[in-house]
Amino acid sequence: MEDGATVTEIFMALREVSVPVVLVDRDIAPGINARRAAFDHAAGMRAATAHLVELGHRRFALITGGPERPARERRRAVEETLAAVVDGAAC
């Protein structure tokens, strides 16, 4: 596959392969026969956010990008951690 292939092109190619496939830190699209190794982004972001709150920080900005699943998990973890802080920490 050429560099710069789109995600759609990659998934289309994966549907055609007859060897085992493991996706690293990606969602598995419908029709793809693959396994997945995923990082626990939520746990890491909860720990980092809690640490910053413990240091006294109360206003946060989160800039995410890249693959959907990691960005979604990171954002949710930060928002949930800050929601549990009683004294008004916000993102």
pLDDT tens for 16-53 read: 888 888 888 877 888 788 888 988 999 999 999 999 99
| Amino acid (1-letter code) at residue 56 | G
Tell me the average pLDDT across 8-22.
81
- Separation CA 4–CA 25 (nearest Å): 19
Is pLDDT of 11 > 70? yes
The first and second tokens of residue 59, run together, are 């206003």
**Whole-model pTM?**
0.66
In whole angstroms, what is the distance from residue 74 CA to residue 43 CA? 9
